[in-house]
């Protein structure tokens, strides 16, 4: 997947329907605390196949005025389901 395909993609498209409630809870925690570590969950690849991410860190991205403009993630481990 290219950067153009990833950047700006709605996160609702990256998690299966069955994981949306957990995903929303997670993003609310990130919004409240600024980041979250050791996250794991199921995601959807660009080809529609599911995979599990492990040991992910998600954080808020803020501009120079400290206004939140998005979120980013680094995934340390993943595996196919």
CA neighbours within 13 Å on the CB side: how many for 22? 11
Q: Which CATH number describes the domain made up of 3-80?
A: 3.30.450.20
Domain segments of the chain as ranges: 3-80
DSSP state of 9: -
Over residues 6-16, the pLDDT tens digits come to: 677 777 788 89
Over residues 15-64, the pLDDT tens digits come to: 898 888 988 898 899 999 999 999 999 988 888 899 999 999 999 999 99
> Rounded CA gap, 16 and 32, in Å?
24
Tokens 């993630």 map to which residue? 73
What was the pLDDT predicted at 1?
A: 61
């Amino acid at each position: 997947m290219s950067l153009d395909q990833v950047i700006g993609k709605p996160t609702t498209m990256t998690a299966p329907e069955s994981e949306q409630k957990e995903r929303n809870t997670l993003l609310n925690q990130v919004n409240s605390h600024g980041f979250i570590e050791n996250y794991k969950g199921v995601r959807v690849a660009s080809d529609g196949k599911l995979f599990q991410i492990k040991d992910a860190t998600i954080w808020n991205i803020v501009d120079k005025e400290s206004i939140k403009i998005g979120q980013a993630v680094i995934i340390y481990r993943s595996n196919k389901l």
